Structure 1
C-alpha cells in the first residue's frame, strides 16, 4: 500500500514539461531485451549430462529480418542521450561540476550492478566449496553476467557525455556524422581482414546514437511524422541496400558463422537500423505522449522504471535458476528448435521465468529505487530528482539557486580514475572466456578492480559538501531520465 501511494504521488507531481515518452521507450526496450533473450534460449544437455544453453537464431534463419525490430540497443543509447542532455543541462544550471555529475550517474548504475556481482560471487564461492568445477562455475556466471556487456558500453558513453555534449552544442549533427564515417572505416577494415582496426567502432557507433539523443532533447530533431517518416524511409532503404544488395548480414544479433557481426562492434548496417528506429520513434511520439498523460499507463511506466535496471541485470540469472530447479526435479524439457513442441513450450517458459525474476526484483529492486530517491543540493525538499514524476531539469526554480563548491583537481582526478576502474572491471569480466577456471565465477582481478572503483566513487559521493546525490533517474539498461528539455 505504501508503494502504491508513493507511485500515485509521483504521478500527481509529474511536471507538464516532462517527456514521458522517453520513460516509456526505456520500459519497452528492456521488455524486448528480456523477452527476446528468454524466447530464443535453447536448453539442452552437454556430453557430461549437464544443462547447457545457446541461442536458437542459427536454426531460425527466417527470423533474421525480425532482428531489425528486436535489436533495441540503439533505443537505449538514443534515450540515454536525451536523458543525459536533460541531466547535464539541469546540473549546469545549479552550477555543478562535470565530475559531480559523473558521481551522480555512477550511483544509480553501479549500486544494482554491485549487488549482482557480490551475490553471484557468493553463490560461486559456495559452489566451489561444494566441489563444483571452476570452469563450470565460470560458465554459469558468464551467462548470468552477459547484460554487463551493454552496461560497459553505456558507462563509457556516460563518462564521455560531459565532453561530447559541448561538442554537440557547437557542431550539432555534424558530430554523429563524423562518428558514422569512423564506423564505416572500421567496417572496411573488417571486410579487408583487419578486424582489430575496427575496435573503435564499439565506442564510435554508440556515441553516434547517443549524440542523436542530444539533438532530440534540444529540438534539433523535432518529433512528429514530418521528421520521423523520412528518417524511417531513409534508414530502411539504406538497410535494404546494405544487407540485401550489399555485403552485410541481414541478422542484427550475433550468429556463429555470419560473415560479419553487425552488433559487435556496431556496423554501418546497425546504424541504418538505428536511423529507421529513430524515425519510427519520432513519428509515434505525439500519440504516445497523449496516451501517457492518462493516469493508469503512466503509473505502470513509473513502477517499471523504478526497478528497470534490476530487471535487466537479473533476467539471465533467473534463467539459470529456473533451469537448475527444473533439472533437479527432472522436469526440464529440451525439445528440438523449431518443432511444434519447442514453440509450444515458449509461453509456459516465459511465464515461469517471469515468476522467478520477480524474486530478485523484490529483493534487489529497493537498492535501485533508493539510489533514485536521492536528490541534489539545492533541490526542494521532497523532490525526487530523476524519477518519473519528479521535477527533473525543471528544478531550477526561484529560490533553487544553491551552488556547491567545485571539486578540486585531486578529487576530480579520483572520480575519473575510479569510474574508469569500475568500467575496466566489467570489461575484464566480459572479455574473460566463459570456460575459464574461475572459482569465484567473476575473475578475481575484475572483481577487485571493479569493487575498488565503486567503493571510491561511493566515498567521494558521501564526502561531497551538502551531498544527497542526485541519482541517475529511472534507468534502463543504463539510460536515465531527468525530465524533458525543449521538446520542439
Structure 2
C-alpha cells in the first residue's frame, strides 16, 4: 500500500488517468464475466467436466455486450503504446530499443505462469494423473494466452503502424475493417481459412484508434518551449474527435450496426464464444465485434469528463494505480484461481450445483465468486511482484558481452525473431485441443518456441554492467 500511495502521489498532472481507469475496469469485467459463466461439474463417469453457462442462458447472451471488453484493452493499449513510443523517441531511443523495453512487462509475468503450470504438470504426471487430464487443466488455466498472443503481436507492429498512422491517419483502420469484412465473407461462404488474418487485423484496427486518441490528448497538453511545440505538432495528425456529438454518433451508429449484424444478420448475439455457433465474434474478431468496439468508444468518450473528475480524488486514483501495477498478473491467473478452487472442492467430492439458471445456481454464484476472489488475491500476492517490480531495462546502454557487437540491423532482426517465437509459442498452445495427451500440460513445441523467444528478448535486454535505467 505504501508503494501504491507513493506511485499515486507521483502522478503527473498531465497524465490521462482515464486510460488507466479503463484498463483496470476492463480487467475487472473480464474476470467477473469468466468466473460467472464457468460451470464445473461431474459427468456420468464421475470425472470433472466444464462448460459455459451461456450454452443454457440464451437470454443472457446480449449481456456479453457489456462484458466483452477486450476491444477496450486494445484501444487503451494503442494510446499507451503511442505515448510510450513517442516518449522513447524524444529520449533518442530507436524503435528496437522501445520494443525490447516493452517486452519485459509482457513476457516476464507470462513466463512465470508457463513455468509454474509446467512444473505442476510434471508433479501431476509423477503422481499418476492422466496426461489428457493434465492438458485439460492447463489448457483451461492458459485460455488468457490467446488474447495475449494477439496483443504482443500488435505491440511488435506498433512502430510500423504508428508511422502509418502519422502519414495517412484513419485510412489505416478503415482499410483494416474492410479486410475484416472480407474475412467474414469467407467464413460465411464456408471458407474459414480466409478469415485467418482477422486474428491480427481486427485488433490492429482498434489499436489504431488508440493512436488517434493519443494524438488528441497530446494536442490538449501545454508545451514547455517553442521547440517542444514544433516537435509536438509534427507528431499530431489525424486526431480522434473527442466531443460529445462525435461520442453520441459513435454510440448510436455502432449500436444500430451491431443490432443489424446480430439480430437481423448472420452474426451470433453473444460476443463471447458459445459452442455450436456458426460464427465466433471474438476469435477471430468479426465485424460485429468492431461495431461493439464503436459502441464502447462512444460510451467511453461520453463518460470521459465525469470519470476524470472522479479520478482527481486520491482514493479512486490509488485503487486504479494498485490494480494497474498487477493488471497483467490478475488477467493471467484469474482462471488458475478456478483450477485451485475446483481442485480443493474435488478433494471432498463436492461442487456447486450445475443446474444453470435455477435460483439455487444463482445463489451459489455469490460464494463461488467470493472464494475465487480470495484465491486470486493470494495468487496476485505471490506472483504480482514479478510484474510490479519489472525493472526498467538498461536497453541500449551497455549490452551483454555476447551481444555487445551486434549491428543495429541484426539486433532488430533478432528482436523480431524473439517476438515472433513468443507469439508462435502462445498460438500453438491455444490451437491444441484441451483433451490432447500432453504430459507437460503445454505442447512441447509451444513451450520450446516461447522459451526461445523469451530468452532471446531477455538476452537483448540484459545490460553488461548496469549504468542506469531506461523506460520499459
TM-score (norm 2): 0.91
Residue of 296, 300, 303 corresponding to 1:281: 300
Tell me the residue number matched to 2:46.
49
Indicate whether 1:331 and 2:350 are aligned: yes
Tell me the residue number matched to 1:470.
471
Tell me the residue number matched to 2:315.
296
Q: Specify every segment of 5 or more residues in structure 1 that has no aligned partner in the other structure, as ranges.
A: 380-404, 472-488
Q: Deviations over 1:280-316 (max 9, x none)?
A: 0011111101110100000000111111110100010
Query: Helix, strand or coil: the match of 2:416?
Result: helix
Q: CA contact under 8 A between 2:72 and 2:293: conserved in structure 1?
A: yes
Q: Pairwise mapping of residues 23-172 of structure 1 onto structure 2 (< 5 A)?
A: 23-172=20-169
Once the two structures are TM-superposed, the CA of residue 432 in structure 1 deviates from its matched residue by: 1.0
| d(CA) in 2 for partners of 1:193, 1:378 | 49
Tell me the residue number matched to 2:446.
446
| d(CA) in 1 for partners of 2:263, 2:395 | 54
| d(CA) in 1 for partners of 2:269, 2:131 | 37
Tell me whether 205-214 or 44-53 shows the greater mean CA deviation.
44-53
Q: How many residues are matched?
A: 443
Q: CA contact under 8 A between 1:224 and 1:285: conserved in structure 2?
A: no
Tell me the residue number matched to 1:256.
275
Q: Deviations over 1:356-404 (max 9, x none)?
A: 1112101110000111x4266799xxxxxxxxxxxxxxxxxxxxxxxxx
Residue of 180, 186, 191 corresponding to 1:189: 186
Q: CA contact under 8 A between 1:461 and 1:469: conserved in structure 2?
A: no
Tell me the residue number matched to 2:324.
305
Q: CA contact under 8 A between 1:8 and 1:299: conserved in structure 2?
A: yes
Q: CA contact under 8 A between 2:109 and 2:329: conserved in structure 1?
A: yes
Q: CA contact under 8 A between 2:250 and 2:295: conserved in structure 1?
A: yes
| d(CA) in 1 for partners of 2:449, 2:270 | 35
Once the two structures are TM-superposed, the CA of residue 241 in structure 1 deviates from its matched residue by: 1.4
| d(CA) in 1 for partners of 2:424, 2:469 | 27
Tell me whether 48-57 or 353-362 shows the greater mean CA deviation.
48-57
| d(CA) in 1 for partners of 2:144, 2:422 | 15
Measured on the aligned residues, the alpha-carbon RMSD in Å equals 1.8
Q: Deviations over 1:78-129 (max 9, x none)?
A: 0100000101100110111111111111100010000000000000000001
Once the two structures are TM-superposed, the CA of residue 222 in structure 1 deviates from its matched residue by: 3.4
Tell me whether 197-206 or 45-54 shows the greater mean CA deviation.
45-54
Q: CA contact under 8 A between 2:153 and 2:419: conserved in structure 1?
A: no
Q: Deviations over 1:298-337 (max 9, x none)?
A: 0000111111110100010110110010111233223311
Residue of 231, 244, 259 corresponding to 1:225: 244
| Higher RCO (CA-CA < 8 Å; seq separation 6+) | 1
Q: Pairwise mapping of residues 230-241 of structure 1 onto structure 2 (< 5 A)?
A: 230-241=249-260
Q: CA contact under 8 A between 2:395 and 2:463: conserved in structure 1?
A: no
Q: CA contact under 8 A between 2:183 and 2:195: conserved in structure 1?
A: yes
Alpha carbons of structure 1 residues 93 and 467: separation in structure 2 relative to 1, 3 Å: same
Indicate whether 1:268 and 2:287 are aligned: yes
Tell me whether 120-129 or 38-47 shows the greater mean CA deviation.
38-47
| d(CA) in 1 for partners of 2:148, 2:269 | 25
| d(CA) in 1 for partners of 2:29, 2:258 | 21
Q: Deviations over 1:196-247 (max 9, x none)?
A: 1111011111000000000111011133422211110110011111112222
| d(CA) in 2 for partners of 1:423, 1:264 | 16
| d(CA) in 1 for partners of 2:362, 2:290 | 31
Once the two structures are TM-superposed, the CA of residue 131 in structure 1 deviates from its matched residue by: 0.9
| d(CA) in 2 for partners of 1:179, 1:342 | 42
TM-score (norm 1): 0.88
| d(CA) in 2 for partners of 1:106, 1:436 | 30
Alpha carbons of structure 1 residues 435 and 215: separation in structure 2 relative to 1, 3 Å: same
Alpha carbons of structure 1 residues 140 and 467: separation in structure 2 relative to 1, 3 Å: farther
Q: Deviations over 1:64-89 (max 9, x none)?
A: 11111111111010010000010110
Tell me whether 310-319 or 327-336 shows the greater mean CA deviation.
327-336
Q: CA contact under 8 A between 1:223 and 1:285: conserved in structure 2?
A: no
Q: CA contact under 8 A between 2:76 and 2:210: conserved in structure 1?
A: yes
Indicate whether 1:245 and 2:264 are aligned: yes
| d(CA) in 2 for partners of 1:239, 1:406 | 50
Q: Pairwise mapping of residues 339-350 of structure 1 onto structure 2 (< 5 A)?
A: 339-350=358-369
Tell me the residue number matched to 2:410.
410
Alpha carbons of structure 1 residues 198 and 467: separation in structure 2 relative to 1, 3 Å: farther
Once the two structures are TM-superposed, the CA of residue 51 in structure 1 deviates from its matched residue by: 1.9
Alpha carbons of structure 1 residues 24 and 269: separation in structure 2 relative to 1, 3 Å: same
